[in-house]
Chain A
Amino acid sequence: MKGLLKFITCGSVDDGKSTLIGHILYDSKLIYADQKKALELDSKAGSRNGKIDYSLLLDGLMAEREQGITIDVAYRYFTTKNRSFIVADTPGHEEYTRNMAVGASFADLSVILVDASQGVLVQTRRHARICSMMGIKYFVFAVNKMDIVGYSQERFNEISEQIQELRKLTGLENIKIIPLSATEGDNVTVKSENMKWYSGETLLEYLESVDIKSEVSGNKFYMPVQRVSRPDRTFRGFQGQIEAGSISIGDVVRILPSNEKASVKRILTAGKDTEKAYCGQPVTICLDREADVSRGCVLTDNPDISSYRKLSVTLLWTDDDELTVGKDYLIKTGTKLTTGIVTGIDYAVNINTGEHIKAESLSKNSIARCQIQLSEAVTADVFSRNKTLGELILIDRVTNMTSACGIIEQLEGKEEKSSERASFTDGVLKARGDLFEEFYYDVNSYNVFRSQTVKNTYSTGDEIPTKGKSYSYPDNFDILVLRDGVAVIVRERRIKELLKFEDYVYSGEVTAVNGRGFEILARTDEDIKKFIEEYRNSDESTLPDIFSRWLKFDTFRKIFISGSYI
């Protein structure tokens, strides 16, 4: 038995998508008796003069039945003796293209229907283009309604030529063309008696036998971190799904974007310990040392994966509100949610011809190549190379609508070694500091950004730069680097000593700041200990509250105005 096949049906309105799937289910005796009875009853009231209307098996929403069209994707599940299938039946109306794209993002194969009496239409081209963009590599063109054109081989050949042209235009891979009639059942599940000139497989035969080969670049391991599991102080595991390669205990992984390295101490796959885990599996990974890992980080052994601030993407706009250049959106890629700005539209794509058109804004269902500037470096890759790291969505910050989906085509602004932030050391202890980050307000995008400009390592006795564009620290203060558990004592602008939190006592005579240079609102050593305790017991949901109660941004810091990205 072949593996599960996920496919979609698409094509223009009234090309007969729902009817086709309905017919496969009906023929394959894949509908239950009660559903069949309901279908026969519903058909009587319908538009096909009492003949069975197979589309009613799929169009489940009341509005769809009323209007006789498909509005949203319907998923159906069926198993023949050769294979299990999930099919997403998608709407043909241009208005609902974004719902069609939802189906396409899920599928390995696309069945595109073409009405034999109409030939290849704008919507056919649109769907082929979107399927291809969303990563589908296998296409079946089902030339439907052959009964209406008298089962003419000549007509079929004409349409095949149109399809071949479309293929060249859009660069589709792996094409199969089948003449059929969804209402009459020709070449759907049984060979047509009416088209003896066609010697190929029926649609179902083809779907049952096609091999889907997923091309994955190499087998290098990567896993976006979904969640940090910290049930108690003894356990800290990183949960996620392995997107490529495999991982074993003892393997060294890089943590992005911090670029730290650690080795794998323990692996749990759904419920139990294991030595090795594979692509596709959900896992919890424990590392051999305390590392800077949170949701949105990526664990990998692939040296080619990095973090970037600028993305060049192809977007499919899915929002009723138009895209505004310069507006900031929430951007989700992998498990990372951040903010970013669409800084420009290179060109929009004419869905029909593939031609590049100049565009100032983007409206619903249009496709365009755009530039995105992220507010921080995000671990990402080109879609064709590492699919999961190359997918993204844009979310409107006010309406929360998923405004666009897109794929990454090019990356820029690589963070070479982002672990190279300023750090402090006494030879034994080490602490990372973001004290010298600059915070600025960008006048083009109306957003606050930060950048790391000082990346030196300071040892005991070294003088540190206490004055920057957006910060000004006193000569004497204590830096409490929370994630490293180390206090850095600065006296007369020089590093006096580094102390583990356990050995540190706050004198109350100088100001204490956290690793980012925000004042800690503490007067006594007791306050400090309480703050550290709260921090250590925090999780992602409680941390913001703890920070807002204990930290003050603008004691030593401010935000300056800038006309360009730093």
Chain B
Amino acid sequence: MCELSHLDELEAEAIYIIREVAAECEKPVMLYSIGKDSSVMLHLAMKAFYPEKPPFPFLHVNTTWKFREMIEFRDRTAEKLGIEMIEYINQDGVKQGINPFEHGSAYTDIMKTQALKQALDKYGFTAAFGGGRRDEEKSRAKERIFSFRNSAHAWDPKNQRPEMWKLYNTRINKGESIRVFPISNWTEKDIWQYIKRENIDIVPLYFSAERPVVEREGNLIMVDDGRFPLKDGETPVMKKIRFRTLGCYPLTGAVESEAVTLDQIIEETLSSIESERTSRVIDSESSGSMERRKREGYF
């Protein structure tokens, strides 16, 4: 029978899904968030079609508050691989001066959720790949690989289509769209081991280095640029830190770490007692907050 290793099996499943979408969906796009999961997704897409380039563009929804190193990495990667990278920014939000310091959850809604909806509508994408994994969060653990959204981009978790074997039903009505999660069945450990095995480039912020941080409500927040409003008496200090997930720098907590190699990161991940999403300030609001956001159209 098929004696593939665990990682090979996960890779094969993801590639199968990516190809199904390319073959059956009218206008696919791959969401690219510059994080490690996105790096794995991009790598899988390159492998799935080789020697052809992925037959769909990549979309980065930029909140304008990403780490500078992320944007540099994005541009470098797109150029090196010769792929089409679309950047979308919610200009209304920019005009209104929406920022993560003053606007809290409205910021996430306007600069991420609304921006994503606008981008999908603008280009008419009917299927969008995302790097969501079921081990990340409880409502994600319940989501199908092909997850349907109505014309308002909302998810109806109580009424998901059955998904049998790998016979994916990609049919949609006008106005509806699909979110597709090819790495649903990967765990954080799988991601790191795959990055190592395949020698995949990731943003250097994942590796420990001396970086300027301030501590707020138990989170270490990196002061990445001059827009960071320091409170009275707050001075950034240099600490050896790295990030387990990457997002908007004011919303992403760092961990103190000595890990400078992939092996050290993997070891740290395996012995970690906290799940990776704890470092995302956004998730710690209440149980069910992710599901609520997804129903509203968050990816």
Contact = CB atoms under 8 A, between A and B. Distances in A.
B268 interface: no
Interface in B6-28: 6, 8-9, 11-12, 15-16, 19-20, 22-24, 26
Contacts of B123: none
A102 B274 CA distance: 30
B22 A101 contact: no
A282 B19 contact: yes
A282 B19 CA distance: 10
A76 B19 contact: no
Interface of B is mostly: loop
Interface string A448-461: 00000000000000
B264 interface: no
Interface in A333-352: 333, 335, 337
A113 interface: no
Interface stretch (B58-66, B104-112, B286-294): B286-294
B157 A63 contact: yes
B235 interface: no
Contacts of B53: 231
A241 B16 contact: yes
Given A3-B6, A61-B157, A227-B23, A102 B287 contact: no
A235 B51 contact: yes
Interface string B172-187: 1100000000001101
A71 B158 contact: yes
Interface stretch (B34-42, B132-140, B205-213, B222-230): B132-140
Interface stretch (B73-81, B94-102, B113-121, B162-170): B162-170
A98 B160 CA distance: 10
A63 B142 CA distance: 12
Interface stretch (A163-171, A249-257, A273-281, A467-475): A273-281
Given A214-B1, A270-B48, A391 B167 contact: yes
A477 to B, nearest CB: 35
Given A34-B275, A62-B288, A77-B134, A98 B162 contact: yes
A281 B12 contact: yes
Interface in A221-260: 226-227, 229-231, 235, 239-241
A134 B135 CA distance: 25
A392 B167 contact: yes
Contacts of B47: 270-271
A176 interface: no
A529 interface: no
Contacts of B16: 226, 241, 282
A248 B1 CA distance: 17
Contacts of B15: 241, 270, 282
A318 B162 contact: yes
Interface stretch (A374-382, A397-405, A514-522): A397-405
A204 interface: no
A75 interface: yes
A86 interface: yes
Interface residues of B, number: 60
Contact of B12 (A42, A280, A392, A400): A280
Given A32-B273, A281-B4, A391-B165, A86 B287 contact: no
Contacts of A241: 12, 15-16
A143 B274 CA distance: 34
B185 A42 contact: no
Q: Considering residues B20, B135, B138, which has the most beta carbons from chain A within 10 angstroms of its beta carbon?
A: B138
Contacts of A216: 1
Contacts of A268: 50-51
A400 B158 contact: no
A4 B158 contact: no
B2 A395 contact: no
Contacts of B46: 271
Interface of B: 1-4, 6, 8-9, 11-12, 15-16, 19-20, 22-24, 26, 46-53, 134-135, 137-142, 144, 157-158, 160-165, 167, 169, 171-173, 184-185, 187, 189, 272-275, 278, 287-288, 291-292
Interface of A: 3-4, 32-35, 38, 42, 58-63, 65, 71-77, 79, 84, 86, 98-99, 101-102, 105-106, 134, 213-214, 216, 226-227, 229-231, 235, 239-241, 268, 270-272, 278-282, 284, 295, 318, 330, 332-333, 335, 337, 388, 391-393, 395, 400-402, 405, 540-541
11 contacts: A34-B275, A71-B158, A75-B134, A213-B1, A227-B23, A229-B52, A231-B53, A241-B12, A282-B16, A400-B172, A402-B169
